[in-house]
Amino acid sequence: MRKMTLHILISVLLASVACIMGILLLMHNINIISDRYEENIRVTLENQRLMSDIRGNIYQTESLVWQHIVNAEEDEYDRYETHINELMESLSGLFVELETNLADDEIGNLLHTVVKQHVGFQSNTTVVLDLSRNGSKQSAQYYVTLKLNPWFDTVNETLDQINLDMDGRLTEAARQMEESIYTARVVAILCLIVVVFIIVVCVTVVFSRGQKIVGQQAEEQKSHQQRVMELQYNTIVGMANLIEGRDGDTGEHVKRTGWFVDKIARKLTADSIYADQIDEVFLDNLRKAAPLHDIGKIKVPDAILQKPGKLTTEEFEIMKNHAAEGGAIIYETMGGIEEHDYIEMAHDMAQYHHEKWDGSGYPEGRSGEDIPLCARIMAVADVFDALISKRCYKESMPVDEAYRIIEDSAGSHFDPVIAAAFITLRDEVVTYLHEIRGEV
């Protein structure tokens, strides 16, 4: 009997060690991928800023050179030339900084030739300015066409190639992130299997040692399982925050929308609205699923996600795909988790939170109550937070104006009942926003 008990205890010990190692491996893998992806984003954004400044300097230089050529006022020559020289000096510094960033990278070879030609470009510019000042306007124009414009074109083509290469690297980083999510799912399932094994072993020991041990072991296993599930939830939230951080929001959008949907659902419950659908399980699943509503953005290129201006029709079509992609990712990466209701809610929220009450939304053009309730609640929270938040393509909107838009869109964009419930929460929302912003 003692020998059997010893074997059981050894098995439990080995299973526990395996579970701990699996969890540590999961956390280590996520941290590595997260750090690598954040570094790729940081370097890419810095290089894109430098390339944008280079293009700006080039366009200004070209414009000033032509203004110099067409100028007929003697006192204007010095002003144009001073400005051109300042731009030349700034351009040299930007080239040096960009070349330094790319020095240890094979992509730096694309830039090296252009940088070497920059000295010749400066000399040619000086020749153009001398010809222009001396009255040889036609010769100056010919020199610009023959010498300067080809260099401008070469620089722009080179920067386009560098930008394309960086986009490719970010796409590869996103692919690795997706693989990491899949790996995390596999490791999490393995850890759950180990936990189940531990439970089985402990139950065997309990039946051989008495009812008292049964109670003790059951409590220990319950606590352990709760910790595993909490780790799983924290991992999911961490992944969602990392994805949101790609557009500069650093996960605050996830926190705010999670707070909004919880408040809306509880307000509906208090008013006995949709009482046949909302219960404590619904509220708990809603809280856990909310962070995943924009997980599909992992498939959207950074060039679109971080674009400061209005998206083109083609770019917007790519952006719209994130809803359907989000639903697919949840089924693919979380389908093995036994909490079916939670998985379905996470899928519905990601897939349908851009559908509209009048049927004009995407990806399926659903309307009315054909849109899942969780997605209709998230639609209000997501749009409101987008309106009051600063993004790369817009400034933040005052809360009063955002609420006016929600009210005006009730019955067209939003479920009118849900929109009305959110409007009644205005004072709580304003107080919450003041608190998280550190405002008095």
Q: Which of 104-108, 222-226, 239-243, 333-337 has the lowest mean pLDDT?
A: 222-226
All residues at 6 or more sequence positions from 226 whose CB lies less than 8 Å from its CB, including other chains: none
Interior angle at CA 66, CA 64 and CA 67, nearest 5: 60
Could you tell me the CA-to-CA distances from 435 to 256, 257, 411, 423 in Å, in that order? 12, 15, 31, 19
pLDDT at residue number 354: 96
Percent of the chain at pLDDT > 70 equals 78
pLDDT at residue number 250: 45
Q: Which of 107-111, 287-291, 383-387 has the lowest mean pLDDT?
A: 107-111
Average pLDDT over residues 316-322: 90
> Do 324 and 404 lie in a common domain?
yes
**CATH number for the domain including 334?**
1.10.3210.10
**Which of 193, 213, 247 finishes a domain?**
247
> Do 183 and 266 lie in a common domain?
no
Higher pLDDT pick, 274 / 48: 274
Express each pLDDT in 140-192 by its tens digit: 888 888 878 887 888 788 788 878 877 777 787 777 777 777 776 777 677 77
> Do 272 and 237 lie in a common domain?
no
Is residue 5 very low, low, confident or very high in pLDDT (cuts 50, 70, 90)? low
CB count, 10 Å around CB of 7? 11
pTM over the 0.75 mark: no
Is residue 221 scored above 90 in pLDDT? Answer: no
d(CA 55, CA 18): 55
Mean pLDDT over the full length of the chain: 81
> Do 313 and 379 lie in a common domain?
yes
Domain that residue 200 falls in: 1-247
Is the bond preceding 372 in cis, omega lying within 30 degrees of 0? no
pLDDT at residue number 335: 65
Could you tell me the CA-to-CA distances from 53 to 130, 159, 287, 306, 312 in Å, in that order? 27, 11, 43, 17, 23
Express each pLDDT in 272-283 by its tens digit: 999 999 999 999
Three-state secondary structure call for residue 364 = coil
> Do 327 and 350 lie in a common domain?
yes
Is residue 107 very low, low, confident or very high in pLDDT (cuts 50, 70, 90)? low
**Which of 247, 267, 284 finishes a domain?**
247
> Do 188 and 261 lie in a common domain?
no
> Do 201 and 219 lie in a common domain?
yes
pLDDT at residue number 428: 95
Express each pLDDT in 124-146 by its tens digit: 888 888 888 888 888 888 888 88
Is residue 232 scored above 60 in pLDDT? Answer: no
Q: Provide the greatest CA pair distance for the chain.
A: 109
**Which of 206, 229, 247 finishes a domain?**
247
Average pLDDT over residues 12-18: 67
pLDDT at residue number 69: 86
> Do 193 and 214 lie in a common domain?
yes
Higher pLDDT pick, 440 / 85: 85
> Do 238 and 261 lie in a common domain?
no
d(CA 435, CA 71): 58
Total domain count for the chain? Answer: 2
> Do 220 and 272 lie in a common domain?
no
> Do 231 and 300 lie in a common domain?
no
Could you tell me the CA-to-CA distances from 201 to 112, 119, 230 in Å, in that order? 65, 76, 23
Indicate the DSSP class of residue 146: I
Is residue 115 very low, low, confident or very high in pLDDT (cuts 50, 70, 90)? confident
Tokens 């009482």, residue located: 275
Express each pLDDT in 331-374 by its tens digit: 887 766 657 888 999 999 999 999 999 999 999 999 999 999 99
Express each pLDDT in 239-278 by its tens digit: 665 665 555 554 688 889 999 999 999 999 999 999 999 9
pLDDT at residue number 416: 97
For residues 120-144, one letter each, b for 16 or more C-beta atoms within 10 angstroms of the residue's C-beta and e for the rest, the string is ebeebbeebbebbbeeeeeebbebb
pLDDT at residue number 440: 47
Three-state secondary structure call for residue 241 = helix
> Do 97 and 149 lie in a common domain?
yes
Is residue 289 scored above 70 in pLDDT? Answer: yes
